Every structure is written in structure tokens, then in C-alpha cells.
Structure 1
Amino acid sequence: MRVTLLGTGDTTGTPTVGCDCDTCETARERGIERTRFSVHIENECIGESLLIDFSPDFRYQFLRDDVSLPDAAIVTHIHFDHLDGLGNVFRVFDSLDVYAANETDPKTDKSVAETVRADYHYLEPIDVYPTTPLEPVRICGFDVTLVPVEHPPLLCYGVAIEDPVTGAKLSLSGDTSYNVPADSREVLADPDLLLADGIVPAHLCEYHPIGGRHENDAGVPRTFGTKHMTREGALELADELNAERTRLVHLAHYYPADEAFEEPLAIDGEQYVL
């Protein structure tokens, strides 16, 4: 299993357009990027690959990192920074299987799968496969399981990907608060690599309109607002999941420049063989 981090940034990416903060300036000076979130997973045994989420930066990411076009893909939720790159399928793919959860979202009255099918009805190459969370499905030779997480107001999912031949396991927290349900944690547990949403450091919660949530025993917030984990929350989740290695993703340019590029914060283009 070869894992390439195509996009490790949040909804605006780093550097952010029009921003001259110290973090964005440092990223420009060092040639570092965090484009919108996407992960490419290659099954080298069978020569197929799987994409997690369609970043709006799809075209640029694939050209920059020179990875193969996917044979199948997963959409974790319908926020634009995870979905809108699907339009790049047009005139690029002959066919593409897209998997997404089949649970009806009370906010939209549609499942993620139904939203993808409706919004991209004009894309003849795609076939959308409604997928039941917490039930593994075989995709590109991997056993893939969508797991519910907490990312209000929309339904959102993390993903566990296991190679039944080698035993390698990749877990993605998805866009989520620290309040990941117990049954989802059980599926995500014991990965060789965990990609965890850690949008900002906990000390920035004081600047959020509603502050932080899910404080630990030391009073450190593990959730920034309601939708994303803090760095500290993501690392605590990693410990609880017994992750062998952890990279923090979905990172905002609000990290102070002296913290923004420290371990274990990921940057685009990182590659891991599990």
C-alpha cells in the first residue's frame, strides 16, 4: 500500500490566496504547500489505486505528484473542499466507481451518495455506489470501511483501509470533532498510519466564536468549535487508537509560523509505504 498525501490543507489551503500572514509567507519562501484535502492509495500488488475525496485542486495535485489516475474513489462528505474536484472526471476518465455513504442526512434529506449522483448527474463516466457505514466493502483489492464521525451540521465519515494480503492498515479520521463514536474508533484502531484532522493548535480556541470543546483532564480543548479536532485532540485520538504513526492533515494557515511546519504536521507530497 503506497499512500500519497495529495492535499493536507483545510478549505482555503496554505498559502491562502490573498494572505500575507507569517505562516503563508513562510510557506511561499520554503516552497511548501497544503492544498485542499485528498489522499491517493495505490495497491501495488494489483496495479490499482483508490482516491479519498475530490479536492478542488485535483488537476494540479495529480500533475504535481505524478500519481496514477484512480480506479475508484470515496467521498467522505459533501463540503466543497472534499467534493468539487469531481468535475475533473470530465474528458479525463472513461469510467470511475465512486463510493459514498447511503445514510440519509436530516440536514439535506439525501445521503452523500444521493448528493453526489444528483450534483454530478452530467458526468457519464461515474458510477455511484451507495455504501453502508461500518460494513467493509472490497475496493481496489482493499477492505474499506466508512465510519461515522462528528462534523456538524452534515453527516461525515472517516475511513479504514486494510490490505487483506499484507495486513497493512491506513485510517483517516475524516473531518471530525474529537467526539468520534466508540464503534467508529473500534474500526479505526491499530493503524500503521493514521491521518488525523488537526486544524489548529488548542491555544487558538480562544479566538473561535464558541471556543473549544471536549477538554481533557488538563483543561486543553480537543475540539476547535464543533467541527474539527485541535492538534492536541488529534494526537490524543492517535494514542487512543494505538496508531503506529500519525500525520496531522486538514491544517489551517492559522497555525503560528513557528509551529506550522513542525512534526507531525503533514505537507503535500508526503508518501508512505505500508
Structure 2
Amino acid sequence: MQVTLLGTGDTTGTPTVGCDCDTCERSRDPGDALRRRLRERGVDSPRERDVERTRFSVHVHNERTGESLLIDASPDFRYQFLREGVDLPDAVVVSHVHFDHLDGLGNAYRLLEDVPVYAADETDPNTGESVAETIEDKFDYLDAIEVRPRSPFETIRTCGLDVTLVPVDHPPLVCYGLVIEDPETGAKLSLSGDTSYGIPERSREMLADPDLFLADAIVPADLCEYHPAGGAHHDDAGVPRTFGTKHMTREGALDLADDLDATETRLVHLAHFYPADEAFEEPLAIDGERYEL
């Protein structure tokens, strides 16, 4: 399967609208050295546009069947698909109901036909409905999509791939990571979803041993001092693996990758709060990276 990172940013993306911080400015004017590094990451050409992190989304293409799966529907859907030139999806999986992962689904209007949208069926006590029910309510005007509720840990066969939603920890809302496996080749992609380091053990077991792991790593750990809730899930040296309560730090994401024995790890859902001299260094991802699994 071919994995394309359509969007690797957090809810505001990088560069952030109206921001002139050093990281956003470097994103707008990356320089030749960064462009060379992008080529090494598999990004098509040393593009003269911004080095971007649009809102989160991942495209998975199954070369055997010619079908494509979209993981989360970014508000930047239209731009991402035009920019990367990938096929429109034959199916969609939605991890949770925050707008930066869901609202791009409205792009199905006049673009898609009869596309299944898979989402969890368990009721969120904070909303009184499941992710699937929220999508049905929000997009009831879209005849192009068919919401298909699925239980966590229930494997779905779609686009010739086996897809499993696994619960993670993103309070106050329910949220899910994903495991995507090719039943023919054994290739495995795992996504942490938006989560703290406190992922349940059964979910960790499902996520383990991926060829590629995409891990939420919103900021470096030293920025926890600026969060009202501080940090959590500290390691033996006292470094917080969770920023506040909802997202992993860079250090926490890398520790989780080690826990899961990931072959390759890319950090995603990244904020522009990373210092400019760290923001585009390995293993932090940027939009447009492609991987063959």
C-alpha cells in the first residue's frame, strides 16, 4: 500500500493564519537545505510553495485493487487532493468528531458517490451519541456518503485492506487510533489517533509491530510548563509524555513508538509551537511524504 500524508498539522496548521512566529516564517520561506531534506523524505520536487502542515489526514492507496482509503476528512480536503494529485477515496474512516478531522467530509458533495464512511458505534457519554451518529446528524444532507457504524476492535475489510478502530485517550471525547493491514502482503500501518500517552493496553497490543507508525506529537515536552494542566505520564527522568491531557509530547510519541516496536515512525498532528530550529527535523513529518509498505 502507498501511504501519503495529506495533512500533518494540528487544528491551526503551519503556517498558522496571522502568525509571524519564527516557525511559521520558516515554513513560508524554507530555504534550499530544507527543500533538499524534503526530497529525501519522498516529497515530490523541491516545491516553491510553503513547507506546510495542513490539518490532519492520510491517504492510503491499495495498488492491488486500485482503491483508496481516506483516514479523517480534513477541512483542507480540496487543497490537499489538488496539491498531492491522489485519487478520490473509495471509503473513509473517521477517528473522532473534532472539526479538524471531520469537517472536510462536506467535500463529498458533487465529488463522491456511494462512499462508505466507517466510524465507531459506542456512545460517548459527553455527547450522548457515537462518532457514527454525530456524522449522520451533521451530514444528513449528503446522499453521497453512507455511514457504517463499527465496534472498536472489529476488523473491517474495505479497499482490500483490514481496518480496525482501537480506543485511545483524548478527553473529554472518545477517540480512536487505527490499524490498517494488507491481508495479502502483511504490511501494517498504525496510527495513534489524537491521544495522550495513556493508551489502553489492548489497543497497544493491536497497534504493535507496525511497518509505519504515525504518532500524535503536538509539541516538545518542555512546552508543558505553558499548559494550564502541565504535563502527565512522566518517564523515569521526569519528562512528560503527555501535553496537558489530550495529546502526546514529541518525547511521549517516540517512547510509544519504542513500546510498539515500530519499524519507522513519523510524528504528526504537529503545532507551530515547535521552535524553528526543531520544527522540520526528523522524525517530524510534513505534508506530502509518501511511503510504500
Give the structure-2-normalised TM-score: 0.93
The alignment covers a number of residue pairs equal to 274
1:31-68 CA deviation, whole Å, 9 max, x = no partner?
A: 20000000000000000010000000000000000000
1:139 CA drift (Å): 1.0
Q: Does 1:125 align with 2:144?
A: yes
CA distance in 1 between partners of 2:157 and 2:72 (Å): 18
CA distance in 2 between partners of 1:124 and 1:189 (Å): 37
Residue 233 of structure 1 corresponds to: 252
2:264 to 231, 234, 245: 245
Where does structure 1 lack aligned partners over 5 or more consecutive residues?
A: none
Residue 90 of structure 2 corresponds to: 71
CA distance in 2 between partners of 1:28 and 1:227 (Å): 28
CA distance in 1 between partners of 2:232 and 2:142 (Å): 40
CA distance in 2 between partners of 1:137 and 1:15 (Å): 36
CA distance in 2 between partners of 1:196 and 1:62 (Å): 22
The residue correspondences of 1:100-179 to structure 2 (distance < 5 A) are 100-179=119-198
1:18 CA drift (Å): 0.1
Amino acid at match of 1:182: E
Partner-residue secondary structure (3-state), 1:209? coil
Dislocated runs of 4+, deviation >4 Å: none
1:135 CA drift (Å): 1.5
Residue 19 of structure 1 corresponds to: 19
Residue 103 of structure 2 corresponds to: 84
Residue 8 of structure 2 corresponds to: 8
1:83-127 CA deviation, whole Å, 9 max, x = no partner?
A: 000100001112211000000000000000000011100000100
Residue 56 of structure 1 corresponds to: 75
CA distance in 2 between partners of 1:148 and 1:234 (Å): 16
Q: Does 1:47 align with 2:58?
A: no
Amino acid at match of 2:11: T
1:175-213 CA deviation, whole Å, 9 max, x = no partner?
A: 000000000000000000000000000000001111100
Residue 223 of structure 1 corresponds to: 242
Partner-residue secondary structure (3-state), 2:29? helix
CA distance in 1 between partners of 2:102 and 2:114 (Å): 17
Partner-residue secondary structure (3-state), 1:118? helix
CA distance in 2 between partners of 1:137 and 1:53 (Å): 16
Amino acid at match of 1:2: Q
CA distance in 1 between partners of 2:162 and 2:79 (Å): 29
Give the structure-1-normalised TM-score: 1.00
1:212 to 231, 237, 241: 231
Partner-residue secondary structure (3-state), 1:123? coil
Partner-residue secondary structure (3-state), 1:146? strand
CA distance in 1 between partners of 2:64 and 2:213 (Å): 22
Partner-residue secondary structure (3-state), 1:150? coil
